[in-house]
A and B are shown apart, each in its own frame.
Chain A
Amino acid sequence: MNDEQTELGLGAYVAAFLALLALTGVTFGLSFVPLGALELPVAIAIALAKASLVALYFMHLVEQPPSHRIAALTALALAAILIVLAAADVLTRA
Chain B
Amino acid sequence: MRHFLVRHGVFIKTNRDVLKIMNTIIISMIPFVILKLIVVRNVIGFLMCLIFPFIFEGILNILKKNKRNIKYYFLDSYTLFGSFILYLFVEGSNYIAILIGSVMISLLKVVLENNKKININPYLWGLVFITFFNKIEYIDTNIYIIISVLISIIVFIYLSIKRYIKVSIMLTYITSLFIIYLIIFLLNDLDIKMTLLSLFNNGLLILGIYLASYSRSTPLTRLGQVIYGNILAILTVVFSYLTSFNYVIISIALISLLTEVIDKFTVNIYGNKRLRKITIFGIYMAVILTGIIMGI
Decide if A and B are genuine partners. no
